[in-house]
Amino acid sequence: MTSPVRRIIIIDDHDAVRRGVRAVLDSRPHFEIVGESGNGREGLELAIETKPDIAIIDYSLPALNGLDLAHELKKNVPRIEILLYTMHDREDVIAEVLRAGVRGFVLKSDTEKHLVAALDALSVRRPYFSGSVSETLLHKFLAIKPDSATRSLTHREREVVQLIAEGRINKEIAGLLNISIKTVETHRASAMHKLKLRTTADLVRYAIRNRLVQA
C-alpha cells in the first residue's frame, strides 16, 4: 500500500538550511515541499494559505520567533504537526515549545536520518525527539508549571517585545499585527511592567538574553 504524500513547509531564516532540508527530502516521494520562508510571520501566512501536514521551523526567526509561531500555527492550522529543527537544546526552550504544540524536536547537529525519522513519525501523528529528549521527558516538561518572567507575558505581549527589539516603530508593529498604535503601546507598557524594565534598551537586552531575537 502506497503511503500518502505529506505536504511540508520549511520556515528557517538560513537559505543553506532550507536547501539542505530540500535536498534530503527531494528523493523521498512521500514528502512534498509546498513552500518555504525565511521569516516567522511570512511563514505563518504561508501555512494558513497552503495548510500543510507538517511545518519544519527554527526557534530563532525574524518577525515572529519559533515559540510564538508554534502557538499561531496550532491556532490557525489545528491539525498541523510541527517539527522544531534548531541548534537550541536548552531545557527551558524544549519545555516552552512542547507546551506550544511542537511534537518533533531535532537538532541541526543530528544526522539527516533523525530529520527523516521525525517526519515519518509526525506523518502518522507520533512524537519524535532526537538526542536526550524522550517521551518520558516530554511528560515531565508538560507537568512543569510556568514560573519565569517570560512565561508571564501573553503571546501578543511577547510578539510586541520581539518586534520592538528588532527596531520596529509602533506604527509598523501596529500594521504587522493588525492592531491600533494605542494597543501596541498598551502591550508594551504591560510587558515592561511585568518584566520590571524601564527603557527600550533594557527591553532589547532582555529579548536578546532570552533569545526572542538574535544578537
**173 and 120, same structural domain?**
no
pTM: 0.75
Q: Is residue 154 part of a domain?
A: yes
Last residue of a domain, one of 119, 143, 167: 143
The closest of 35, 76, 94, 69 to 158, measured between CA atoms, is 69
**187 and 89, same structural domain?**
no
The whole-number pLDDT of residue 147 equals 42
Last residue of a domain, one of 91, 124, 143: 143
Q: What are the pLDDT tens digits along the chain (215 aa)?
A: 456 899 999 999 999 999 999 999 998 999 999 999 999 999 999 999 999 999 999 999 999 999 999 999 999 999 999 999 988 777 777 878 888 999 999 989 888 999 999 999 999 999 998 865 665 466 555 665 544 556 688 899 999 999 998 889 999 999 999 999 999 999 999 999 998 888 888 888 888 887 777 65
**56 and 30, same structural domain?**
yes
Q: Is residue 190 part of a domain?
A: yes
Residue 204: which domain range?
149-209
The whole-number pLDDT of residue 136 equals 42
The whole-number pLDDT of residue 173 equals 94
The whole-number pLDDT of residue 142 equals 61
**137 and 160, same structural domain?**
no
How many separate domains does the chain show? 2
Three-state SS sequence of the chain:
CCCCCEEEEEECCCHHHHHHHHHHHHCCCCEEEEEEECCHHHHHHHHHHHCCCEEEECCCCCCCCHHHHHHHHHHHCCCCEEEEEECCCCHHHHHHHHHCCCCEEEECCCCHHHHHHHHHHHHCCCCEECCCCCHHHHHHHHHCCCCCHHHHCCHHHHHHHHHHHCCCCHHHHHHHHCCCHHHHHHHHHHHHHHHCCCCHHHHHHHHHHCCCCCC
**203 and 101, same structural domain?**
no
Last residue of a domain, one of 89, 123, 143: 143
Here the CATH number for the domain that contains residue 125 is: 3.40.50.2300
